[in-house]
Structure 1
């Protein structure tokens, strides 16, 4: 079970890094350079690439997860501080009844059936956002204990007309189905996986 987590603290003085952070399409293209070329159709899915931008007190942090071994040396010189961690042991250690802390930046949305947006994917709002995560967590093998929601800046693309509403979910949960939880970590949750949504991070709860 192979998976790696790359933590990138971009140096905002670096032109490439600062420009990337203004365009979610540019960030997607940048994180894809961490995995091998020539992966054929849907290289993101084949390499298991997911990413999330966390806003920390020291500045933005880009977390990238891959199922193919990444090569951080392919980032531009002085792009930022990079740490790479093998999370395979964490995935193997997941067991039924385990209490975990989780974080997920997701695009809670649905395809409208009626009304002016019928047939289009529309973002959820209000209580529907929490209901979306409660249902998805259960579907993916987690029983939620605590949940905190944090609306995030929309993911906006300049090179392409992309705009994803994003909510970050934090809290604790209990693992009910190990296989479903591992699949959720490796495959992501919800829409917008190419553009900063869907990465589920877990850690043992103390």
Structure 2
């Protein structure tokens, strides 16, 4: 497995086009793997996520089984004379995860639930739109995903309810676009979770980090990354 980080040049029109469309970004990411056939049913999972930093920098993160070649992205959305991407072997880090470890994490996800609007109708995925429901969406999945979100000490909680966890939910976005393979319209709500977690099941967490969490993985959702606390 490989973890790649690529800095996007926001002054370029190609970058703005990619950032405006999860579908266009997905196509650009998948073009980084010439050995992967787009239509292959057993194609390995490739995860990606766009992050914006406090210094107004924008980074593309990719987790993938094969090593990517981002030359085309550097030409379209980077600095062609100074390609700025780093690819690291992810396997040593994944292998070193241990129960009880505490990490800072980031996850951009598509929190949804299935509802039936009228009796007799099929269920339909519907986005969670409130921070409380989005938080609960993550908490319901943490055990199976191999971690638990760290709880705050009671004396550090600013509110009597809703401030129990080391967790911040931000960067809510709504995307709508037409799929290239059909005339259907995709409506997608994404949010970013920043927080701290404790590893409860290293094997399950490795699956989460390499296979993703939740829906809409092709559109920049599901990729969780870890960083040292502090």
Which TM-score tier does this pair reach, normalised by the shorter chain? 0.7 to 0.9
Alignment correspondent of 2:186: 162
- Whole-Å Cα distance in 2 between the matches of residues 159 and 14 of structure 1? 25
Q: What does 1:110-125 correspond to in 2, within 5 Å?
A: 110-115=113-118, 119-125=123-129
Q: Which has the higher strand share?
A: 1
Alignment correspondent of 2:226: 202
1:193–1:204 distance in 2 versus 1, CA, 3 Å: same
Q: Identify unmatched segments of 5+ residues in structure 2.
A: 79-83, 151-165
Alignment correspondent of 1:55: 52
1:70–1:50 distance in 2 versus 1, CA, 3 Å: same
Alignment correspondent of 2:147: 142
Native 8 Å contact 2:109 2:192 kept in 1: yes
Question: How much does 1:154 deviate?
Answer: 2.1
Report SS of the residue matched to 2:209: helix
- Whole-Å Cα distance in 1 between the matches of residues 207 and 19 of structure 2? 29
Give every structure 1 segment of 4 or more consecutive aligned residues whose post-TM-superposition deviation is greater than 4 Å.
Answer: none
Residues 1:172 and 2:196 are matched in the alignment: yes
Alignment correspondent of 1:16: 14
- Whole-Å Cα distance in 1 between the matches of residues 108 and 209 of structure 2? 12
Residues 1:128 and 2:148 are matched in the alignment: no
Question: How much does 1:159 deviate?
Answer: 5.4
RMSD over equivalenced CA pairs, Å: 2.2
Question: How much does 1:19 deviate?
Answer: 1.6
Larger radius of gyration: 2
1:171–1:7 distance in 2 versus 1, CA, 3 Å: same
Aligned counterpart in structure 1 of residue 108 of structure 2, from 92, 101, 105: 105
Q: Identify unmatched segments of 5+ residues in structure 1.
A: none
How many pairs does the alignment contain?
Answer: 203
Question: How much does 1:59 deviate?
Answer: 3.3
TM-score (norm 1): 0.88
Native 8 Å contact 1:50 1:198 kept in 2: yes
1:165–1:19 distance in 2 versus 1, CA, 3 Å: same
- Whole-Å Cα distance in 1 between the matches of residues 210 and 136 of structure 2? 23
